[in-house]
Structure 1
Amino acid sequence: MASSPLNPKSHSRSNSLPSRPHPLILNCNEQLESLRASNETSSSSSLRHKVGGLQDLIECVEKLIQLPLTQDVLVHEHQEKWVDELLDGSLRLLDVCTAAKDALLHTKECTRELQSMIRRKRGGEVELIAEVKKFLTSRKVVKKAISKALANLNGTSKNYNISSTTNKSHQTEALISILQEVEVATLSTFQSLLQFISGSTQSKANRWLSISQLIQPKRVACSLAADESEFALVDAALQSFIFTKTCKFEDINNLQNHLEKMESCIQDFEEGLEFLFRRLIKIRVSLLNVLNH
């Protein structure tokens, strides 16, 4: 049995015994399965859990890419299509992560402006309604950017296929498979987060069939019961505020509560995305360094 870059002692094993994947590959698989098994609901707590699970998975992949034995496979297979797909995928992940970070930042800035006006009670009813309208306009900008990001993701992923691993070692097949599945899982999680930020929901619970099945976000419902997203609740509260055109204490207090909950949610997701963004950059740099030397 020919030796494998990820299993240099495999030549001493019987041909009838398959080589066991490297422990880091097994660990990545465990993290991936844990992420897949996470709650599929669109609540903020569920998404926080998923982002946390994704952090563990990406951290594991970073270690896997740094493994000398993995780098040997990349060098040996550098002309294979799956390596090009891996590089393209690493850039796609950074693009989607950046889109989510930008959406959160823009929403946070507008949230703080509105909160500041409410707390300081600057102006009267007309000024407050004008600020609310300004916030809703900014939300439309965010939703449009998210819709575009998801449409681009769907378009670039239509031809995503698991690369053929014919005549490759068991270890190499395992490495290729886990790296591709990690991209699918990461994109799926980012998609869920983007839709959550936009205040939309996804019609299919199973997001793991294929990245080619990504769907466009739906229109945001104006009912508070239509979506548990803190972003959707704020949108609904703002729409109600504009519709009633009143500045009653209970309405303002209700709006403040929703804004505070959304701001807390933004803070958590920003921290998670910043962690992921740094790790994804390191992974891409490592890939480029290995393949360019």
Structure 2
Amino acid sequence: MSRLQEAHRSFFPFGNPFRMLSPKGSQLSPALLALLNCFEETLAVRLRKLETLGDIFSLTWMKSAIESLCETHKEIQNLISALDLPVEDWDEKWIDIYLDISIKLLDISNAFSSELSRINHGHLLIQCAVHNLESNSLQQVACTNSYLDSWRQQTRSKNPLLEKCFCFLDGLGESLNLPKVKNSAKGKVLMRAMYGAKVQTLFICSVFVAAFSGSSQKLFDLDVSNTHLWAQGFNRLQGNVNGIVRSRVSSNSGNLLKEIQGVNAVVNKLHLLMQDGPVSTDEDSALVSIRQLRTEAEKLSGGLNLLSKEVDTFFQIVLTGRDALLSSLRATCTGTDPTAGKRVGLQAM
């Protein structure tokens, strides 16, 4: 368990980073203040919306959460363009943080895609079982049992890539300690907005890891200052969601997704019916259970498809932003500072 979660206190072990965001001689102009307020107000709306979308362990909620995250990262890219802050004016620490965060987010996205593919493979097993059950063929009994057993084993197994996400989340948490902004009003706006994006990213990714792994080990209790327009909504959302996750984890094991548990409930019911021999679609209880299994499997499949598309979209947004920064850095470094170009290339690797 991370040192940060064990303490259950403010996330900032090295002091308050917001004091670093108020350097002398960098007062915000009305135009810059309007840009920052627009970003923060929009983020506040997104966070409030997530509170109203139902069960956080449903694929529907998770799809909305990652969609919200995509919108925030697009806004960061739009803000960078609106600030018109040349790359050569970026502090080296900003660049390192941006590149480091982006590679961690790409790794996390890959882990989520891997888990969704794994679940989808399990869904195919359920589809095969439903087909055999509906055919009412005695010859398919052994295969049906095998499909259902494989499904149960898969939902109890762990994805190694998800285990690696624990380290990635720790790295994202450490990146919340912002670098000092030196006499740059535009830099102050950028760092403050990036802080909001990082907080939302860390929160949503940690909830995803908890839902997929059945572990609350990497839930973070972030203490966000009320100086942010989105702070109140975030603190309320985080408190509610973390409470639900920890409660559900303590009473369940394995994957916590609502749709998977819906399939499991019917699979367990069919397992009991099949203990006395093959089920028959002539029996009302068996027919109802088979229909329920098909319905739950369809819910799972539909949710997986939508969530997978959003995770892919998030991956592409992060990758596009990273590539754009690297391209700008290469152009800036050409003929001016070859060692800086090498540093950027190594960081990308």
Does the pair score TM above 0.5? yes
Deviation at 1:207, TM superposition (A): 5.8
Measured after TM superposition, the shift of residue 218 of structure 1 is 3.8
CA distance in 2, matches of 1:131, 1:102: 21
Does the 8 Å contact 2:210/2:216 carry over to 1? yes
Which of residues 89, 95, 101 is equivalent to 2:101?
89
Given that residues 62 and 208 in structure 2 are in contact (C-alpha distance below 8 angstroms), is that contact kept between their aligned partners in structure 1? yes
Of all paired residues, the percent bearing the same amino acid is 16
4+ residue segments displaced more than 6 Å: 203-206, 213-217
1:88 offset after TM fit, Å? 0.5
> Does 2:252 correspond to 1:221?
yes
Q: Is the 8 A contact 1:104 1:270 kept in 2?
A: yes
In the alignment, the residues of structure 2 paired with residue 290 and residue 280 of structure 1 have an alpha-carbon distance, to the nearest angstrom, of: 16
Tell me the CA shift for residue 174 of structure 1. Answer: 1.4
Deviation of residue 91 (structure 1)? 0.8
What's the CA shift for 1:175? 0.4
Please list the CA deviations of residues 198-232 of structure 1 after superposition, one character each: whole Å capped at 9, or x if unmatched: 5x47599986548xx9999947727xxx9672123
Distance 1:53 1:289, change over 3 A: same
Q: 1:99 to 1:267 in 2, by over 3 A?
A: same
User: Of 135, 144, 152, which residue of structure 2 is paired with 1:136?
Assistant: 152
Tell whether the 8 Å contact from 1:101 to 1:270 is kept in structure 2 after alignment. yes
Count of aligned pairs: 270
What is the alpha-carbon distance in structure 2 between the residues aligned to residue 54 and residue 181 of structure 1? 11
Specify the alignment match of 2:116 in structure 1: 104
Query: Are residue 279 (structure 1) and residue 308 (structure 2) matched?
Result: no
Deviates further, 280-289 or 242-251:
242-251
Q: CA RMSD in A?
A: 3.6
Q: CA contact under 8 A between 1:66 and 1:286: conserved in structure 2?
A: no
Pair 1:161-2:176 in alignment: yes
TM-aligned CA distance change 1:220 to 1:289, over 3 Å: farther
Q: Which structure: larger Rg?
A: 2
Matches within 5 A, 1:5-16: none
Aligned equivalents of 2:113 and 2:162: distance in 1?
14
Distance 1:22 1:16 in 2: 12
Change (3 A) 1:66 1:286: farther
- Give the deviation of 1:253 after TM superposition: 2.3
2:70 paired residue among 45, 55, 58: 55
In the TM superposition, what is the alpha-carbon distance from 1:104 to its structure 2 partner? 1.0
Equivalent in 56, 79, 102 of residue 42 of structure 1: 56
Aligned equivalent of 2:289 = 251
Shift of 1:131: 0.6
Distance 2:304 2:65 in 1: 15
Quick one: higher RCO (CA 8 Å, sep 6+), 1 or 2?
Answer: 2
TM-score by length of 2: 0.65
CA distance in 1, matches of 2:161, 2:265: 19
1:182 paired residue number: 197
Kindly provide the CA deviation profile for residues 101-132 of structure 1, in whole angstroms up to 9, marking residues without a partner as x: 12112211331232034225474333212111
Cα deviation, 1:129-180, whole Å, max 9, x if unaligned, reads: 2111112233344x43364043222443453333243533232111012113
TM-score normalised over the length of structure 1:
0.75
AA paired with 1:231? I
Judge which range, 153-162 or 253-262, deviates more.
153-162
Contact 1:111/1:259 (<8 A) preserved: yes
Residues 178-217 of structure 1 correspond to what in structure 2 (within 5 A)?
178-198=193-213, 200=214, 208-209=222-223
One-letter amino acid of the structure 2 residue matched with residue 279 of structure 1: I
Equivalent position to 2:29, from 19, 22, 28? 19
**Alpha-carbon offset, residue 263 of structure 1:** 0.8
More off after superposition, 247-256 vs 124-133: 247-256
> Which stretch shows the higher mean deviation, 45-54 or 131-140?
45-54
1:16, 1:260 → 2: CA distance?
56
